[in-house]
Amino acid sequence: MISFILNNQTIKTTAKSGMTLLDFIREDQQLKGTKIGCREGDCGACTVLVGSLENDRLIYKSITSCISPLGNANGKHIVTIEGVNLEEKLNVAQQVMADNYATQCGFCTPGFIVSITGHALKQENTHSSCSDSVSGNICRCTGYKSIEKATNVIEELLKKVDSLEVLVAKGFVPAYFKTIPKKLQQLQTSKHSLQTTEGTIIANGTDLYVRHADRLSLEEVQLIGDDTSLKGIEINNGICKIGASTTVTEIAENKDLNKLFPKLKSFLKLVSSEQIRNMGTLGGNFVNASPIGDMSIFFLALDSTLTIRNKSNTRELAFKKFHQNYKKYDLQKGELITCISFKIPDENTKFNFEKVSKRTHLDIASVNFACRISVLNKKINKAMFSIGGVAAIPKVLEKTNQFLKGKELTKQTVKQAEVLLQSEISPIDDVRGTIEYKRLLARQLFFAHFVELYPNEINLSSLF
Amino acid sequence: MKNIDSYTHLRGESLFVDDIMVRRDTLYGLVFDSPKAHGKIISVNYTKAETVKGVVKIFTYKDIKGENQIGGIIPDEPLWAEHEVHFQGMPIAFIVAKSEAIAKQARALIEIEIEELPVITTAREAKEKGSFINAPRSFNLGNTDKVFENCKHVFSGTVFSNGQEHLYLETQGTYAIPMENGNIKVISSTQGPTSVQKIVAQVLGVAMHKIEVDVTRLGGGFGGKEDQATPWAVMAAVAVQYLKKPVKLILNRHDDLRMTGKRHPYDSTFKIGLDKDLNILAYQVEFLQNSGAAADLSPAIAERTLFHATNSYYIPNVNSIVHSCKTNLPPNTAFRGFGGPQGMFVIESAIALAANNLGIDKRIIQEKNLLSENDEFPYGQIATKVEMKNSWHTALKHFNLEKLEKEVEEFNKENKRFKKGLSLMPVTFGISFTNTPMNHARALVHIYQDGSVGVSTGAVEMGQSVNTKMLQVAYETLGITPDKVKLETTNTTRVANTSPTAASATADLNGKAVLKACKALKKRLITVSSKMLSERKKDIKFEKNKVYLKGKKTNISWEKVVKQAMLDRVALTENAHYKTPIIHFNKTKEKGHPFAYHVYGTAITEVSLDCMRGTYEIDAVKIVHDFGKSMNLGIDIGQVEGALAQGIGWMTLEEIAYDKDGRLASNTLSSYKIPDVFSAAKKVAIIPLKTKGNKMAIKKSKAVGEPPLMYGIGAYFAIQRAVKAFNPKHKIKFHSPFTPEKVLMSLYEK
């Protein structure tokens, strides 16, 4: 039995936990405001909010319901467009969108409104803007300018809002939202856990549902996205440990990590969209094993270690040994990645992440590239470069890293290393680019790391 | 006035085909399509698929009672393949089952054996092999051969523009319901209800009056649902005819991407000749249109390419030819601009090449050759009420182009890693269906006895707010408040024999019909009022639901007049017909006056390149646009902004890719990227050009749907300029879209 609150209504259902939340909403509940645009999380027309109680506070996040298993709604508040409507008038976001001509054909519009409402419901609005909240919503009619005008107005209006009470009073959301925490608590007590050891293991489904939604929909799946033992970010004794079910958003919003990586948010803004970052987990990205997995590239450069467990044992594995061949990795049946850990870099160490894709946001990289370099007295102490999109696996540039060790940080070093880099990669022609392009891009982004991290020592034109 | 659908759109209450409540016995369809781009069907085995529990029937061409033919202009396209397949994604069969999931299971079990035949994917290859849809078309003016000899400068080159996926957010879909007596009601997401009705009747072998097509609205169309909404409706209807049960077919995104045609890719060759003063004296161009495997609308699109081959320039000697090349891609189809953008990209490329080779700014040649009053277009129409130079010079002045140019120049001097580029894009776009007989529309207006009004037209609402404009025409003409008027669905039983909602002309055509109907109704009600007041008709007016006498409000309301009209047995319904006057075109001579009027405008595009990464941003697009006297500026600006984004998308990041076997490689939303909120131009400024308007447009408010798309072409040349600023060795090419890949390769080209 899956129990949750859908808008203002308590749901108890025996539907398969692997069914998509979208199908449950549209077919089972006949709520037709949530639209089907692509079923791959790439358009945002099916955006809904997931509210969960964290330390007695309700935290709302937007997700694409097309690639989300129904089972993950258990114990949560799910909000569709119908759930943000006021009785007989437009809510504030809707009115501002109307005033700015921000709806044309109307098909994508509910998704935009839900995303914006998710933004409004965030208690701290400092880290992302209202227009960031629609990063996963595609509109083919408006060209976005009217939507931007609207989100700017909404942003201003939200400055005067500091609580759910005010949001309700000002007409951003209906009043029933105030009753949800209590209802959820009552629901929690009667919550049936979803126990199964048979079905496919799924964290939040952002990859598996793109490819296998039809099959998964018929299953009772094993859901590990909410398993607290697999979540969380902690730093102890110079080691940072991140649970495998931690989402990209949770990483982006973590204060400690932002101290460690001051540009973390801008790096992670290049990873997918708000909705997908709210679901996508580290472990999922690693086992998806795409040669251009953004998080794989990111954590390879940090020389991370995976912790893997099965029923009886736990083992550790250098992350760079995890991916073995195209989509092949070192994980046996019954094993699960529980966390990833890396050493906190010292003050001489710098980190950078580069990604170029056809569309800068919500796109898969042509090449993505991360590095961690430690420089002392103008000498490279240690270098760790990892690159995606140029080999069968997310690639650690072993030879290049080895070569750089102990070298002076000069343009000659960088140029020599680049030659080596080219010998280590083997890109193929595909929809993300030709071989020539990927090689050139690898060179440019390799240079970019140095230009970004050591602008005083290396500038771009000196490299040609 | 805002889009009248805003309220329900924003609340998620607007109904699209997939949202309509279905009958309990509804069945669901799924198309089985060809896995090969070209070949002979040796065998198809449906046995395993048919035994899947819940599969009701699998339909093939053998089940068709009428003709297995859906071609619109040329009858060259079967609904379901019989013995040969001509593109990957070509429908072969239609699985009808109790659920879509069951149909999918069944589809995976169909076994097909195809003897493969050679595959053609490019227009050039098709031309070499003599594979064409129809005979080429050619528009000519003056004598190019003679004049080229006397030109001081002659340049020639090649141009490629890629296709473009419509990516309407709502995929193709239909719901067909059996009515009594073998009648069928088809709810369709189509821009062309009449063509759906006609083709359904043809394939079912029944009279058109047995088929009712109803359209509430579309979740985007952009031309992709002009002709290509039809096959899905027909398939569902065939199943309904046989099974006598409602059948729903909503294409999933991947099927939609794979099975439907797109904007036509064009391979073109040009030769341009200029005199010493940079007047363009001669222009020769050959367009190879990649039409795909069947005609669809390709011949009409090819024609419009010729109509816009010289864009906004007067060129006294023009020789233009277009070949519709038959290839093994899905039949390419209408897409906002309808061949015009492809034509304009070539002339702009020719001018860019000339400027590049002469070492001057492209703008100088553009400006020198802009269209003037009484200039002759290559198709014989004399340009009148020309606003081209007006829009151009207004843009230069209003946006202070010289300052912008100087800023770019200085920025480029000071910066090595980042470069900026600037370009100007003039647009002249003809309004009317170029097939003259299509320029007509009708409106049916009812005034109900309580004074409320229902308006039906042939226009299909697809986000462009045509219904809002129709409502404006109705309430303003009748002198009542907007809330009194309701726009009805577009339905073939109320308004028959319609032209599709296309060619930017729908508001003009249908609006004029609404205007005519409302005027007639008002005239009758004025007569009624004049009797009620015992006053002269010419002294009576209606305004905001009140009767005014000699400018003074009376105590007689609109409702009271309508009530009296009922008692007097006055007809409160009017059906009006409008056809565009003046226009004509002789296809034998290829001369005439095909357009009611032209829309003009100028866009300035500014871009920034990150020369380290090869990525770019559109900093600003500044536009002076000829709206005529816009009847709804908010909505019209929305049309310009949306079209611009599509045009920029087509020119920059939207990249259709077919492999050599004719398989669509950009077959998902993760591999085909349209603009998102971050890739939109940072700043878009749109200034309405001050003009007197044009009487041929509804309320002098010019058509706005398509013309602004072509402003997006400016992005290509702005990027090209920025690349050139970084790498002087870059040999300029004309091969859209200008993706980050092409940018980076060009930046470091040796």
Average pLDDT in the B341-363 region?
98
Residue A412: which residues within 8 A CB-CB, separation 6 or more? none
Are residues B450 and B507 both part of a single domain? yes
Tell whether B219 lies on the interface with A, counting CB pairs under 8 A. yes
Looking at every residue in chain B, the average pLDDT score rounds to 98
Q: Given 3-state DSSP classes, what are the helix, strand and coil percentages for chain A, each rounded to the nearest 5?
A: 35, 20, 40
Residue where one domain finishes, among candidates B553, B578, B603? B578
Could you give the angle at which helices B298-307 and B340-358 cross, rounded to 10 degrees?
40
Task: Return the pLDDT at A191.
Answer: 46
Write down the domain spans for chain A.
2-189, 225-343, 349-463
Are residues B112 and B227 both part of a single domain? yes
Cβ–Cβ gap B637/A101 under 8 Å: yes
Are residues B405 and B519 both part of a single domain? no
Least CB-CB distance to A447: which of B7, B166, B612?
A: B612
Token pair listed for A170 = 């000002």
CA distance A333 to A310: 8
* CATH number at A225-343: 3.30.465.10
The vertex-B72 CA angle with A37 and B32, nearest 5°, equals 45
CATH architecture of residue range(s) A349-463: 2-Layer Sandwich (3.30)
Residue B538: which residues within 8 A CB-CB, separation 6 or more? none
| Local confidence band at B210 (pLDDT 50, 70, 90 cut-offs) | very high
Tell whether A135 lies on the interface with B, counting CB pairs under 8 A. yes
Tell whether B464 lies on the interface with A, counting CB pairs under 8 A. yes
| Local confidence band at A188 (pLDDT 50, 70, 90 cut-offs) | low
Task: Return the pLDDT at A240.
Answer: 98
| Cβ atoms within 10 Å of A113's Cβ, excluding its own | 28
Task: Return the pLDDT at A194.
Answer: 56
| Local confidence band at A464 (pLDDT 50, 70, 90 cut-offs) | confident
Are residues B199 and B332 both part of a single domain? no
Within-domain flag for B464: yes
Task: Return the pLDDT at B499.
Answer: 98
Task: Return the pLDDT at A163.
Answer: 92
Q: Which carries the bigger pLDDT value, residue A244 or residue A1? A: A244
Question: Is the per-residue pLDDT at B367 higher than 50?
Answer: yes
> Mutate which of A79, A137, A141 to disrupt the B interface (most B C-beta within 10 Å)?
A141
> Which residues are registered as beta bridge partners of B621?
B605, B684
Question: Is the per-residue pLDDT at B530 higher than 90?
Answer: yes
Q: Given 3-state DSSP classes, what are the helix, strand and coil percentages for chain B, each rounded to the nearest 5?
A: 35, 25, 40
Residue where one domain finishes, among candidates B231, B259, B287? B259
Task: Return the pLDDT at A195.
Answer: 62
> Mutate which of A32, A104, A154, A211 to disrupt the B interface (most B C-beta within 10 Å)?
A104
Question: Is the per-residue pLDDT at A123 higher than 80?
Answer: no
DSSP letter for B181, please: G
**pLDDT, tens digit, for every residue of B291-331?**
999 999 999 999 999 999 999 999 999 999 999 999 999 99
How far is residue B680 from each of residues A134, B611, B616, B668, B741, measured CA to CA in Å?
A: 13, 20, 11, 21, 19
Helix (H, G, I), strand (E, B) or coil at B623: strand
| Cβ atoms within 10 Å of A195's Cβ, excluding its own | 7
Least CB-CB distance to B676: which of A30, A103, A359?
A: A359
Task: Return the pLDDT at A391.
Answer: 97
Cβ-Cβ contacts under 8 Å, A437 against chain B? 741, 744-745
Task: Return the pLDDT at A125.
Answer: 53
Task: Return the pLDDT at A127.
Answer: 65
Residue where one domain finishes, among candidates B228, B259, B290? B259
Tell whether A47 lies on the interface with B, counting CB pairs under 8 A. no
- Is B706 a known active-site residue? yes
Specify the amino acid at residue A224: I
Are residues B640 and B740 both part of a single domain? yes
Q: Is the link from the previous residue into B737 a cis peptide, with omega within 30 of 0? A: yes
The interface predicted TM-score (ipTM) is 0.98
Question: Is the per-residue pLDDT at A89 higher than 80?
Answer: yes
Least CB-CB distance to A143: which of B6, B634, B642?
A: B642
- With pLDDT > 70 as the criterion, what percentage of chain A qualifies? 97
Residue B595: which residues within 8 A CB-CB, separation 6 or more? B307, B381, B430, B431, B432, B434, B583
Within-domain flag for B410: yes
Domain of residue B217, residue span: 6-118+166-259
Residue length of chain A: 464
Q: Report the greatest alpha carbon distance in chain B.
A: 88
Within-domain flag for B586: no
* Fold that domain A2-189 belongs to in CATH: Ubiquitin-like (UB roll) (3.10.20)
Task: Return the pLDDT at B732.
Answer: 97
Specify the amino acid at residue B73: I
| Local confidence band at A126 (pLDDT 50, 70, 90 cut-offs) | low
CA distance B706 to B377: 20
Task: Return the pLDDT at B682.
Answer: 98
Residue of A367, A348, A349, A350 lying closest to A358 (CA atoms): A367
The vertex-B691 CA angle with B687 and B697, nearest 5°, equals 100
Question: Is the per-residue pLDDT at B271 higher than 90?
Answer: yes
Question: Is the per-residue pLDDT at A218 higher than 60?
Answer: yes
Contact B623, B644 (CB under 8 A): yes
Least CB-CB distance to A113: which of B10, B657, B677?
A: B10
Are residues B140 and B73 both part of a single domain? no
Task: Return the pLDDT at A401.
Answer: 98
**pLDDT, tens digit, for every residue of A9-54?**
999 999 999 999 999 999 999 999 999 999 999 999 999 999 999 8
CA distance A463 to A444: 10
DSSP for B427-462, please give it.
EEEEES-SSGGG-EEEEEEEE-TTS-EEEEES---S
Cβ–Cβ gap A106/B635 under 8 Å: no
Are residues B420 and B442 both part of a single domain? no
Say which CATH number the domain at B456 has: 3.30.365.10
Helix (H, G, I), strand (E, B) or coil at B262: coil
Question: Is the per-residue pLDDT at A364 higher than 60?
Answer: yes
Are residues B245 and B350 both part of a single domain? no
**How far away is chain B from the Cα of A218, in angstroms, using its nearest Cα?**
10
Contact B708, B602 (CB under 8 A): no
B670 burial type by CB count under 10 A (0-12 exposed, 13-18 middle, 19+ buried): middle
Find residues 490-509 of chain B whose CB sits inside 8 Å of chain A. Answer: none
Task: Return the pLDDT at A55.
Answer: 83
| Cβ atoms within 10 Å of B618's Cβ, excluding its own | 25
Are residues B324 and B460 both part of a single domain? no
Cβ-Cβ contacts under 8 Å, B642 against chain A? 104, 140-143
Tell whether A431 lies on the interface with B, counting CB pairs under 8 A. yes
Token pair listed for B242 = 């046989």
Q: Where are the beta strands (DSSP E) in B275-376?
A: 280-292, 317-326
Tell whether A19 lies on the interface with B, counting CB pairs under 8 A. no
Are residues B716 and B573 both part of a single domain? no
Looking at every residue in chain A, the average pLDDT score rounds to 95
**pLDDT, tens digit, for every residue of A303-346?**
999 999 999 999 999 999 999 999 999 999 999 999 999 999 99
Helix (H, G, I), strand (E, B) or coil at B507: helix
Task: Return the pLDDT at A434.
Answer: 97
Question: Is the per-residue pLDDT at B397 higher than 90?
Answer: yes
Helix boundaries (H) for B546-624: 558-567
Question: Is the per-residue pLDDT at A134 higher than 60?
Answer: yes
Cβ-Cβ contacts under 8 Å, A430 against chain B? 665
Are residues B186 and B152 both part of a single domain? no
Question: Is the per-residue pLDDT at A56 higher than 90?
Answer: no
Within-domain flag for B190: yes
Least CB-CB distance to A363: which of B19, B465, B673?
A: B673
Are residues B205 and B59 both part of a single domain? yes
Residue of B698, B470, B464, B429 lying closest to B580 (CA atoms): B698
